[in-house]
Amino acid sequence: MNAENTDRTATDPISAQAGEPGFTIVREFAAPRARVWEAWTNPDVMARWFHPETLVTSRESVSVDLRVGGEYTYTMRIPDTGQEFPAAGKYLHIDEPGRLDFTWGSPGSVDDAPRVSVELEELDADRTRMTFTLVGLPNDSGSDESAYDGWSSAFNELDTELGS
């Protein structure tokens, strides 16, 4: 696994306003681009990795309406305590298998939530570079409820799921 993490503010096309906080995480996976796309869009696969390493996501909690304007939901849970963290968003742009843009927030507030862009670049038949950009939250790495650290940890789960 190759991880490169960078901060990005308003230079990304999904950003609405100059100066908006955000961050970018770049990972390379030893998997074909179609397989990485499926991991982002198939609820069966999403349930296996769509959470930081210390949490779980039940398959029953994942729903996907993969169309522009469609929504997705999932609930992460701490296994030991049962504490749950529901999440939801709305798909803004779908360009299979190269780009997926969506909001990421709490159920009921998907329209005003931070925006995510996932770009998948085929490096060769068995390697894909993923560029994940989140706009609307700062790079808060090291804080107790860090979105940056949570996504980075989830990408470790994705790496395991893809068998990289």
Residue range 16-65, pLDDT digits in tens = 456 799 999 999 999 999 999 999 999 999 999 999 999 999 999 999 99
Mapped onto helix, strand or coil, the DSSP state of residue 40 is: helix
b/e per residue 112-150 (b: at least 16 CB within 10 A):
ebbbbbbbbeeeeeebbbbbbbbbbbbbeeeeeebbbbb
Q: Would you place residue 2 in the very low, low, confident or very high pLDDT band (cuts 50, 70, 90)?
A: very low
Q: What is the pLDDT of residue 18?
A: 60
The position carrying tokens 């469609």 is 70
Structure pTM?
0.88
Helix, strand or coil, per DSSP, at residue 44 = helix
- Per residue in 64-119, pLDDT tens? 999 999 999 999 999 999 999 999 999 999 999 999 999 999 999 999 999 999 99
What pLDDT, on the 0 to 100 scale, is given for residue 155? Answer: 98
Predicted local distance difference test score (pLDDT) of residue 19: 78
Among the four given CATH numbers 3.20.130.10, 3.10.20.30, 3.20.20.70, 3.30.530.20, the one describing domain 24-163? 3.30.530.20
For the chain, percent helix, then strand, then coil, each to nearest 5? 20, 40, 40
How far apart (Å, rounded) are the C-alpha atoms in residues 149 and 128? 21
Q: Between helices 147-162 and 33-41, what is the axis angle to 10°?
A: 120
